[in-house]
Amino acid sequence: MHSGITTAYLARYRKLAETAGADRLLPLTGAQRRFLLTRRMRPQARPDTVPLFFRFPRGTVDPARLHRAALRLAARHPALRGRYTTLRGTPVLRLGEPSVEVAELAVAPGTPAEETVRRALLAWPAEGPVLRLLLAADPGSGQELLTVALDHAACDEQSLGLVTAGLSEAYAPDGGAPAAEDGLAAYREAVELQLAAEQEAASPAARAHWAARLGTLDEGPAAPAPTTAPTPTPEPESVRPTGALAERLPAVTGAARGAVFPALLDAVGAAGHRLLGTRRTLAVGYPWGGRPAGAAEVLGCFLNTLVHPAAPDAPLHPGTGSPGGLDALADGWWDDLEHAGTPFDEVVHAARSGGAHWSGTLDGLLTFEDLRRRPPLVLDGVAGVEAHPAGRPIGAPFAVAASNGERELLVRLVWDRAHCHDRDAEAAFDVLLLTLRHHLAPVPAAR
């Protein structure tokens, strides 16, 4: 094993567990530690959350039955029945009894349910259950919006399918089959395997790769200046809604699926340069990872944040990708995936050793989900229709989310209106879609 941040953390954790009771404490993965550290550094101390939104016909969801189902789900997964906290300066998961929150939100007349839910998520307290379900009836629409929200420290993309499938099963009249065990042994083993993988990934070769790959990054301004004045709003920044745009393209199928992510990376880089109006290399972060080899498919957070250096493009046709083409970008991305396990903090240190003047701040975010991996949320035989409300805060000036399903590729751009003007975002979204269509041709646009 290589020395590094994970090795130092494990030494502190083991010393703490000897005196504080190892049976009730679990170590945290690198991603979980980063979420906890980021939370402590924020003035409002609000956790990062992963919400899913589903529309059901009004009256479909029984709150009491939903609460019982959520408790059954939490009982099976240690990541859902503890507190992510710091003991003697060491981040840990302290196990507890299953606890969830199910709340029916009062929606004021004339206020969309999405706005009520947005404000409730902004007010999410750091203390309390890591799984919360919010139900808001949409006035006059005959529908209700169910939000399934989790603390990001307890959930990654691979976990979402376990959550929707688990809630669907537990909501059934018989409550689903009882858990054979509480899952503690499997979860502990998965976390330990993840930490061992993180230690191994902090190798001299990995550090050298990231030093060379990210050594040209430079810190952008604390508040990127838009080309025109930001959209005025009377709301305080803590509740200011982000802007959002979305486009539905035909699903990418077959062997072409392998080109979707490199195409997205290139498109996000091109859009980011247009949106932020800068010629420096941008740091685009994206989650990557899964359960370590040999680990059970447990619910938790095992992702890592990788960083893609998006250089200013100079293509023959503006907005159609990087100078070296998609093949060159994909080659660099595949090299990055060879070192995908290197913890983010180690990557930042390596980049700085390579000459980067960069603290780890991300200019943009990219998330990609293959919807074939996530079962629908079905309550009493009714499948919820997934929704994507706008306005949620993001951890960067802009973010792109893409979801590839059986029929469509949904692409969404959100931006922080404190940093970016709506007109700049609209132009950047055009660049994003133009670049994607260029790479994924001959797929036509579908409006």
Weakest mean pLDDT among 39-43, 209-213, 392-396, 413-417: 39-43
Section 325-339 average pLDDT: 91
| Contact between residue 190 and residue 295 where contact means Cβ atoms under 8 Å apart | yes
pLDDT exceeds cutoff 60 at 447: no
**What value does the mean pLDDT take over residues 75-92?**
92
| Structure-block tokens of residue 301 | 């957070």
326 pLDDT higher than 90: no
Looking at domain 5-191, does it have CATH number 3.30.559.10?
Answer: yes
Residue showing tokens 């409550």: 175
The mean pLDDT value for 16-24 works out to 81
Domain extents in the chain:
5-191, 203-440
How many Å apart are CA 367 and CA 305, to the nearest integer?
Answer: 10
- Tens of pLDDT, residues 217-252: 987 654 444 444 444 433 444 445 789 999 999 888
Q: Which residues contact 9 (CB under 8 A, 6 or more apart)?
A: 27, 33, 90, 91
Q: Are 156 and 163 in contact (CB under 8 A)?
A: no
The arrangement of secondary structure in 203-440, i.e. its CATH architecture, is 2-Layer Sandwich (3.30)
Residue 181 has pLDDT above 70, yes or no: no
Which has more confidence, 304 or 373?
304
Any residues with CB less than 8 A from the CB of 104 and at least 6 apart, and which?
63, 135, 136
Q: Please give the C-alpha separations between residue 31 and each of 83, 90, 91, 315, 327, in angstroms, as whole numbers.
A: 16, 14, 11, 36, 30
Chain-wide mean pLDDT for the chain?
Answer: 86
Return d(Cα 201, Cα 193) in angstroms, integer: 12
Name residue 348's amino acid. V
In CATH terms, are 5-191 and 203-440 the same topology? yes
- Bigger pLDDT: 416 or 182? 416
The closest alpha carbon to 165, from 375, 386, 371, belongs to 375
Instruction: Find tokens 């396990």 and name the residue.
Output: 341
* DSSP track, 285-299: EEEE--PPTT----S
Listed in sequence order, the residues at least 6 apart from 91 whose beta carbon sits closer than 8 Å to its beta carbon are: 9, 28, 32, 33, 36, 37, 84, 85
Give the CA diameter of the chain: 64
Task: Output the pLDDT for position 313.
Answer: 66
Q: 169 exposed, middle or buried (CB, 10 Å; 0-12, 13-18, 19+)?
A: middle
What is the value of pTM for the model shown?
0.87
Task: Please report, for residues 33, 117, 120, 206, 216, the alpha-carbon distance to residue 124 in angstroms, rounded to integers and kept in the order given.
Answer: 19, 11, 6, 37, 38
